[in-house]
Structure formats: structure tokens, C-alpha cells
Amino acid sequence: MTKFKLEYIWLDGYTPVPNLRGKTQIKEFENFPQLEELPLWGFDGSSTKQADGSSSDCVLKPIRVFPDSQRANGVLVLCEVMMPDGVTPHPSNKRATILDDDSAWFGFEQEYFFYQNGRPLGFPDSGYPEPQGKYYTGVGYGAVGDIARQMVEEHLDACLESGINHEGINAEVAKGQWEFQIFGKGSKRAADEMWMARYLLQRLAEKYGVDIEYHCKPLGETDWNGSGMHANFSTAYMRDVGGKEYFEQLMSAFEANTEDHITVYGPDNHMRLTGLHETQSIDKFSYGIADRGASVRVPHSFVNNGYKGYLEDRRPNSQGDPYQIASQILKTIATVPLKKAAVA
Ligand code: ADP
Ligand code: MN
Ligand code: MN
Ligand code: MN
């Protein structure tokens, strides 16, 4: 038997954006534990805005297991929060009620800032570094500083070793700002892996004295870049059947549901979706081929393949909850009728 360190991880009840929480228990298993072998566990919901002091127990229900390469015999146990009965989802548990479809694929591009002492990593103590320009995909100390790349590389390895489908990295437009991409089949899988990737990033940055700032416009009304979480998506129908007519119907449905999308696309998004800096205004909906100033960017490949493939919704922001973002995209897609013969 081996003693495994089980890190139970969940989302708390803070609004508008939940925080990641985690605590460890040690248990013995013959081999690396399977999901079915992991027991329910509890925590004090009164400390996480998930219960009152009078009846504060909430239940952690394991839903996905990953090896934790950063810890000897470590296991990352992603959980849903349940009511004390263990079967009713807690109101803060969005994952329990979202739409899912294994044939819907999602690629999230998570942008974020490294922060130290309340400023982006690499910013001087007061004032600003050289203006934006050479930071995006930059190389060299002047562009990225000394520890950012180390953290980003460590994060990449940690994700890959955990089986998280990390797909790439780039330094972003502002100094101290980076991006990574996570791709998954099914809204739950993709979003689970995004939350785990966020967890790993936050945890490994601790030892560098660095925080992860996910706010979509941490430097306020300046020219400094905001952070998004572009959601690339495709359903089986979009990939296999598609067509211009269906695409146009889909975009009409997106336009009709603009408000519902914006509601779950992350807080303070009006600060970022201004119509400037490769964004569309928050109250407008537009799409365009290779257009980074549109709400939805249509890749060249999509048009070249006869309006088949994936689309990029550029509106979700870096603080958005990938569960709710993916679910809203699926909800809107579900309002558009499919040609029956083609589906069969
Ligand atoms: P850009 O920065 O040019 O917008 P990225 O390479 O950062 O592009 O992100 C593109 C994302 O699109 C990746 O996360 C990738 O996984 C995702 N993607 C690629 N093909 C598909 C597809 N068929 N369905 C859904 N997402 C996809
Ligand atoms: Mn990108
Ligand atoms: Mn980007
Ligand atoms: Mn993008």
C-alpha cells in the first residue's frame, strides 16, 4: 500500500468570481486511485461563503482525478460542492447543471498577468516600463524579465504531466502578461482542465512571491492590454456539415442572445470590450473573417473548408467561468435547427 496525498480542490461561493480552494487528506491505496475509489469529503462552508455558521458543512464530491507531478504520491482531486445530503448540488456549483456534449470541442485561451507587490511583474516601483510593442511573443530579459518564463515553463510541464491538454503558450501584449491554451472535448472536460490549469499556475507561482491577476483590465483605463479568455468552439455538425446558411443562422442566434452571453463572459467586461485594442464594444455583436475587432472571429480555414470547422468567440474575459461560458455557447447553438438528413 502507498500513502497518497489527495488534494481535494473546489470552487468557493464568492461572487462574481469564485476562488479555488484546496485541502489535503492522506489515504492508502494499492495503486494510483481511480475516481470511484475516492470518498466524499466535507469542509466548513461558512468560511467560503457557502453556508451559515449554524449549519456549515458542505460536501466535496470528486469528479475528476489527475496525477500531481509537483508532489510525491500527489493526486489532484477536482470536486463539485454538494449540499449535506451529498446528492443535491450546492447553489454555487455551476458545473452540476451546465449543458455538455462530448462532440463539442472547446479551446480556451487564458490570458493573465503575473503580479508582484500590487504591480505587473517587471513594472518599475512607480510609473510604467517602456510602452507596449515588443512584449508580445518577445524574448530576452528586457521583454520578459527573469522569472516569468520559468514559471510559464514549469506550468506547462505540470499541466502535461497531469494529463491536462495544455496546447501552447505565448507572452502577451503587456509586460508581465501571458497566455496559455487548453483544449478539450466536451464542455465539462475542457472547463475542468482550465480550472485545474489555473490552480496549478497559482500554486506554483507562490514560491516566486507572485500572484496571478485574472482581472480583465487590471491597469484600468490605460492603453495597457486587457485580458481575455477567447473561447474557440466547434460541434460535430459545425465540423462535419456546416455550410454558409447554417453559419449565418448561428451568428443570428448569437446576436439575439448577446446579453445572455455577456452575463457569463466575466465581470467588468465593459472595461475591456470598448471597441478599441482588437475588441468589439460590449453592446454590439459582429463577426468577421480573420477580424480581431469582431465579437466572433471566423478563421480563414473555416471559410476555405466550406464554412466548416471552429469559430472564436473573443468576448469571454480572463475571469470568466469556463463552465458557464461553454454552456451558454451550447445553449445558443441548440436554438439553431439542424438539417435532419445531414445529421443522420
Ligand atoms: P489565436 O491566438 O490566433 O486566437 P490560439 O492558437 O491561441 O489562437 O488559440 C486557438 C485555439 O483554438 C486553441 O486553444 C485550439 O485548441 C482551439 N481549436 C483549434 N481547433 C479547434 C476546433 N476544431 N474546435 C474547437 N477549438 C479548436
Ligand atoms: Mn491565442
Ligand atoms: Mn492572446
Ligand atoms: Mn484568440
pLDDT of residue 279: 87
pLDDT of residue 53: 77
pLDDT of residue 341: 57
Using a 6 Å cutoff on CB, does residue 167 contact ligand 1? yes
CA distance 312 to 109: 10
pLDDT at 149 over 70: yes
pLDDT of residue 342: 54
Measured by CA distance, the residue closest to atom 17 of ligand 1 is: 107
3-state DSSP of 109-160: EEEEEEEECCEECCCCCCCCCCCCCCCCCCCCHHHHCCCHHHHHHHHHHHHH
Whether residue 213 contacts residue 201, with contact meaning beta carbons closer than 8 Å, is answered with no
Count H helices and E strands in the chain, helices first: 10, 14
pLDDT of residue 55: 81
Specify the residue for cell string 464594444: 281
Q: How many CA atoms lie within 13 A of 9 on its CB side?
A: 23
Element (H, E) at 341: helix 340-343
Nearby residues of 2 by Cβ (< 8 Å), 6 or more positions away: 28, 29, 30, 31, 73
Mean pLDDT of 276-302: 93
Q: Compute, in angstroms, the gap from residue 229 CA to the centroid of ligand 4.
A: 8
Report which ligand 1 atom has the smallest distance to the Cα of 297. 4
pLDDT band at residue 278 under the 50/70/90 scheme = confident
User: Strand locations in the chain, DSSP E?
Assistant: 2-11, 20-29, 41-44, 57-68, 74-82, 105-116, 119-120, 166-171, 177-185, 211-213, 229-234, 287-289, 296-298, 311-313
Whether the pTM exceeds 0.95: the reply is yes
Q: Model confidence over 32-77: pLDDT tens digits?
A: 999 999 999 999 999 999 998 778 899 999 999 999 999 999 999 9
Amino acid identity of residue 116, one-letter, is Q
Using a 6 Å cutoff on CB, does residue 100 contact ligand 1? no
Using a 6 Å cutoff on CB, does residue 255 contact ligand 1? no
CA end-to-end span of the chain, whole Å? 50
* Neighbouring C-beta atoms of residue 196, cutoff 10 Å: 23
φ/ψ of 267, rounded to 5, equals -70, 160
pLDDT band at residue 286 under the 50/70/90 scheme = very high
pLDDT of residue 277: 81
Report which ligand 1 atom has the smallest distance to the Cα of 182. 14
Report which ligand 1 atom has the smallest distance to the Cα of 232. 26
Q: Compute, in angstroms, the gap from residue 297 CA to the centroid of ligand 4.
A: 8
The SS3 call for residue 207 is: helix
Q: Model confidence over 325-336: pLDDT tens digits?
A: 999 999 999 999
Question: What is the percent of the chain with per-residue pLDDT over 70, rounded to a whole number?
Answer: 99
Please give the DSSP secondary-structure letter assigned to residue 248: H
Q: Compute, in angstroms, the gap from residue 56 CA to the centroid of ligand 3.
A: 41
Kindly list the structural domains of the chain, giving each domain's residue range(s) and its CATH number in brackets, ordered by start: 2-92 (3.10.20.70), 105-334 (3.30.590.10)
pLDDT of residue 343: 53
| Mean of the per-residue pLDDT values of the chain | 96
Q: Model confidence over 211-236: pLDDT tens digits?
A: 999 999 999 999 999 999 999 999 99
Q: Model confidence over 171-195: pLDDT tens digits?
A: 999 999 999 999 999 999 999 999 9
pLDDT of residue 253: 98
